[in-house]
Amino acid sequence: MSKQVYNFCAGPAMLPQDVMREAQREFCDFNQLGVSVMELSHRGSHYMKVAEQAEQDLRELMNIPSHYRVFFMHGGGRGQFSAVPLNLLTRGDAADYLLTGHWSKGAADEADKYADVSRIQGLETDSDGHTRVTEKLRIRAEARYLHYCPNETIEGVELFELPDSQGKPLIADMSSMLLSRSLDVSRFGLIYAGAQKNIGPAGLAIVIADPALFVDARDDIPAILDYRQMEKHGSMYNTPPTFAWYLAGKVFQWLKRQGGVAAIEEHNKAKADYLYQYIDSSDFYRNTVAVSYRSRMNVPFQLPDRALDPEFLRGAEQRGLLALKGHRAVGGMRASIYNAMPLEGVKALVGYMELFEKLQRR
Ligand SMILES: *Cc1c(COP(=O)(O)O)cnc(C)c1O
């Protein structure tokens, strides 16, 4: 390897080194076939084994109830913004969307095209100026589901407890936290995630769903977004994103070697605690999310003066600490510390933050 770098990009994000090396070894010659996995028929026995193993490993990692379907689909997270209402609602049906930030709002805006959407303000500001989740949610009686986003990637707001959906099926966009902590899948009607944060290459989406929620497909649904087609064809209605699926499978295997989701959750806690504790101990850096809603995956932080941002980023890059620039909607910095980020990466970041603060105070 060349110099040590730590990639804090929010997505596409860092993947485990072991996975990348393994994929590299097999790149031109998969299973001694003399071809790449990318060049294999998705219906051939070699690829089918890869695909089935990936699903089985994901089911094992998340303890997915056997009647739930698992789909590997095209179109990333946003593809599911459309697929969810198209598959779970008939025309004119109502669905409620909890708004907690950029991505939950994006999901509601897309669903608006297909459904009667009600937006529920999910966040309030407490007297200290910290954001927290609204206590009592006004869910409509006619709503067919409640959609929410457990981890708002841009704002760094994470909901560790399930919102009270008042008996409605809970639909969750887990794009930036799937597999980062333990979950009881049976409490969700449907879970989806774009792959490029914690799972693998961009473009792939994972869907985990209770098929009892699927309504008879509308006749105008694009077939590649149709869960019934996915079900019927084992996610191979058309050619699936085979390489992304293969790589996701390698990440699942890696996660099993790390001890599974419970083990990676402890690791993720340790990393996030280390960073937040440092930010809180400093009066130079600041994070404005209420402590109990701070994301373990995406840590936004601000410097005392925005004019310092370019210099901070330049110095970080020189030290191999990449992609720390915050989303333009929030400004400042954002450190994304998904499963693949080692504790050493977080320590290197904090070391640099300390140094930068000292230099500014001189
Ligand atoms: C990144 C992200 C998305 C968008 O995923 P795409 O694959 O780019 O469509 C959606 N929701 C959340 C929570 C995300 O973090």
Name the residue with the closest Cα to ligand 1, atom 3.
Answer: 77
pLDDT confidence of residue 134: 80
Catalytic, 136? Answer no
pLDDT confidence of residue 128: 75
Exposed, middle or buried: residue 2 (CB in 10 Å: 0-12, 13-18, 19+)? exposed
Q: What is the mean pLDDT of residues 236-264?
A: 98
CB 154 within 8 A of CB 329: yes
The strand pairing partners of 294, in sequence order, are 157
Best residue for ligand 1 mutational test, from 151, 175, 176, 327 (most atoms within 8 Å of Cβ): 175
Tokens of 342: 């080692």
Q: What is the mean pLDDT of residues 309-334?
A: 96
Q: Is residue 173 lining ligand 1, measured as CB closer than 6 Å?
A: yes
Q: Which of 89, 293, 64 is nearest to 188 (CA)?
A: 64
pLDDT tens-digit series, residues 170-207: 999 999 999 999 999 999 999 999 999 999 999 999 99
Provide the terminal-to-terminal Cα distance of the chain, rounded to the nearest Å: 36
**Distance (Å, rounded) from C-alpha 14 to C-alpha 10?**
9
Q: Is the peptide bond before 12 cis (omega within 30 degrees of 0)?
A: yes
Q: Which of 137, 107, 141, 104 is nearest to 120 (CA)?
A: 137
**Distance (Å, rounded) from C-alpha 241 to C-alpha 105?**
27
Exposed, middle or buried: residue 247 (CB in 10 Å: 0-12, 13-18, 19+)? buried
**Closest ligand 1 atom, residue 151 Cα:** 13
pLDDT tens-digit series, residues 285-294: 999 888 999 9
CB 346 within 8 A of CB 271: yes
**Alpha-carbon Rg of the chain, whole angstroms?**
21
Query: Measured in angstroms, how far is the CA atom of residue 77 from the centroid of ligand 1?
Result: 4
Q: Is the pTM of this model over 0.95?
A: yes
Catalytic residue among 57, 96, 103, 116: 103
pLDDT confidence of residue 254: 98
pLDDT confidence of residue 155: 94
Catalytic residue among 57, 116, 197, 271: 197
Q: Is residue 175 lining ligand 1, measured as CB closer than 6 Å?
A: yes
Q: What is the mean pLDDT of residues 212-238?
A: 93
Q: What is the mean pLDDT of residues 236-252?
A: 98
**Distance (Å, rounded) from C-alpha 228 to C-alpha 158?**
31
Q: What is the mean pLDDT of residues 331-341?
A: 97
Alpha helices for 160-233 (secondary structure H)? 227-233
- Split at pLDDT 50, 70, 90, the class of 65 is very high
Which of the 8 DSSP states describes residue 302? B
- Split at pLDDT 50, 70, 90, the class of 217 is low
pLDDT confidence of residue 133: 74
Give the C-alpha distances (Å, rounded to integers) separating 297 from 263, 325, 346: 15, 15, 12
Q: What is the mean pLDDT of residues 347-359?
A: 97
pLDDT confidence of residue 126: 74
* Residue 127: partners with Cβ closer than 8 Å, 6 or more residues away: none
Tokens of 234: 């084992």
Say how far residue 83 (Cα) sits from the centre of its chain.
17
* Residue 42, phi then psi, degrees to nearest 5: -70, -15
Q: 196: how many CB neighbours lie within 10 A of its CB?
A: 24
- In 153-198, DSSP assigns E strands to 157-158, 170-173, 190-194
Exposed, middle or buried: residue 66 (CB in 10 Å: 0-12, 13-18, 19+)? exposed
Query: Measured in angstroms, how far is the CA atom of residue 84 from the centroid of ligand 1?
Result: 14
pLDDT confidence of residue 3: 79
* Residue 47: partners with Cβ closer than 8 Å, 6 or more residues away: 37, 40, 41, 242, 246
Position 1 pLDDT exceeds 60: no
**Distance (Å, rounded) from C-alpha 212 to C-alpha 64?**
15
pLDDT confidence of residue 258: 97
- Mean pLDDT score of the chain: 95
pLDDT confidence of residue 316: 98
- Split at pLDDT 50, 70, 90, the class of 278 is very high
Q: Which of 206, 208, 205, 204 is nearest to 188 (CA)?
A: 208
- Split at pLDDT 50, 70, 90, the class of 319 is very high
Q: Is residue 241 lining ligand 1, measured as CB closer than 6 Å?
A: no
Q: Which of 328, 333, 284 is nearest to 304 (CA)?
A: 284
Q: Is residue 77 lining ligand 1, measured as CB closer than 6 Å?
A: yes
CB 248 within 8 A of CB 199: yes
pLDDT tens-digit series, residues 98-143: 999 999 999 999 999 999 999 999 887 777 777 667 878 899 999 9
Catalytic residue among 168, 173, 245, 325: 173
Q: Is residue 149 lining ligand 1, measured as CB closer than 6 Å?
A: yes
Catalytic, 254? Answer no
pLDDT above 90 covers a percentage of the chain that reads 90
Q: Is residue 156 lining ligand 1, measured as CB closer than 6 Å?
A: no
Name the residue with the closest Cα to ligand 1, atom 10.
Answer: 77
pLDDT confidence of residue 149: 98
Strand, helix or coil at 211?
helix
**Distance (Å, rounded) from C-alpha 116 to C-alpha 89?**
10
Q: Is residue 76 lining ligand 1, measured as CB closer than 6 Å?
A: yes
